[in-house]
Amino acid sequence: MALILTLQTDRLLLRPFEGADAKQVQLLAGDKDVASTTLAIPHPYPDGAAEQWIEASRQASVQGDRHVFAIVRQEDYVLLGNMTLGITKHHNRAELAYWMGKPYWGLGYATEAARRVVQFGFEELALNRIHAAAMTRNPASYNVMIKAGMKYEGTFPQHIKKWEQYEDLVFYGLNRSDWSLLRLNADL
C-alpha cells in the first residue's frame, strides 16, 4: 500500500484530488480545447464522471499503481490541472500524463509540475524510466516533456483515434542514468 503524497514547487502544490475538486475538474478538463488534445478526456464531460475519476485515482494512488496529483497554485489554492505518473511496476517505469486548464496555458505551470513529478519518480520511487506521449498537433504538450528533460523517441503515425479522427503521437522519454546526468549539469 502506497502513501498518497503532496509535493511542492516554488509556485505549486501537487496534492491528491479531493471530492470538492470535482466541479472544477469537470469545468477545466471538459473544455473542448483541453479535451481535444488528450488521449482519454471526453467532451462533453459527463456529470458524475469527475467524482468517479477522483475516486478511481485515489484508489490507484493507494495501491501504488498511479500517482495522481492536482496541480494547485500556492498563492490562492486554485486548481489548475492534473499531473499523473502511471506506474508499470514489473518494468520499473512510468508514463507521465497531464492536462492543464485553458486559462492557465502558457504560464509555465505544467513544466514546473512535470519537473517536480519526474524528480519524484526518479528520486523517491526509484524508477528506471519515465516516458510520455502527445498528439503531434499539440506542441505545447511535448515542449513540457522537453523542458522536463525528456528526449524525442519517435512518432507513431495514426496511433490513436480521437473523436473519429486518427492522430499521430509523438513519444519522449528519460532513463534514470540520463536524468542523473541532467541533475549534475543543470538544476531541473
Does some domain include residue 60? yes
pLDDT digits (tens, 9 = 90+) for 108-135: 999 999 999 999 999 999 999 999 999 9
Does some domain include residue 106? yes
Coil, helix or strand at residue 90: helix
In which band, very low, low, confident or very high, does the pLDDT at 79 lie, cut at 50, 70 and 90?
A: very high
Cα separation, 163 vs 42, in Å, equals: 9
Tally of domains within the chain? 1
What's the alpha-carbon Rg for the chain, to the nearest Å? 16
State yes or no: pLDDT of 187 exceeds 70: no
Residue type present at position 6: T
Tell me the residue range of the domain where 98 lies: 7-185
Please name the residue that has the C-alpha cell 462533453: 44
Q: What pLDDT was estimated at residue 4?
A: 64
Does some domain include residue 72? yes
Q: What pLDDT was estimated at residue 188?
A: 47
pLDDT digits (tens, 9 = 90+) for 50-64: 999 999 999 998 888
Does some domain include residue 158? yes
Chain CA centroid to CA 142, Å? 12
Above pLDDT 70, what percent of the chain?
A: 96
Q: What pLDDT was estimated at residue 181?
A: 86
Q: What pLDDT was estimated at residue 39?
A: 82
Does some domain include residue 2? no
pLDDT digits (tens, 9 = 90+) for 136-186: 999 999 999 999 999 999 999 999 999 899 999 999 999 999 998 887 776
Does some domain include residue 52? yes
Residues 6+ apart with CB under 8 A from 62: 1, 2, 4
Convert 65-101 to b/e letters by CB count within 10 Å (16 or more is b). Answer: bbbbbbbbeeeeeebbbbbbbebeeeeebbbbbbbbb
Q: Could you tell me which residue, 4 or 21, shows the higher pLDDT?
A: 21
Q: What pLDDT was estimated at residue 3?
A: 54
Measure the CA dihedral 80/96/12/143, to 10°: -80
Check: CB of residue 109 under 8 Å from CB of residue 76.
no
The CATH number given to whatever domain includes residue 158 is: 3.40.630.30
Give me 59's grid cell. Answer: 484508489
Helix axes 49-63, 22-29, angle to 10 degrees: 110
Q: Indicate the pTM of the whole model.
A: 0.93
Does some domain include residue 1? no
Does some domain include residue 135? yes
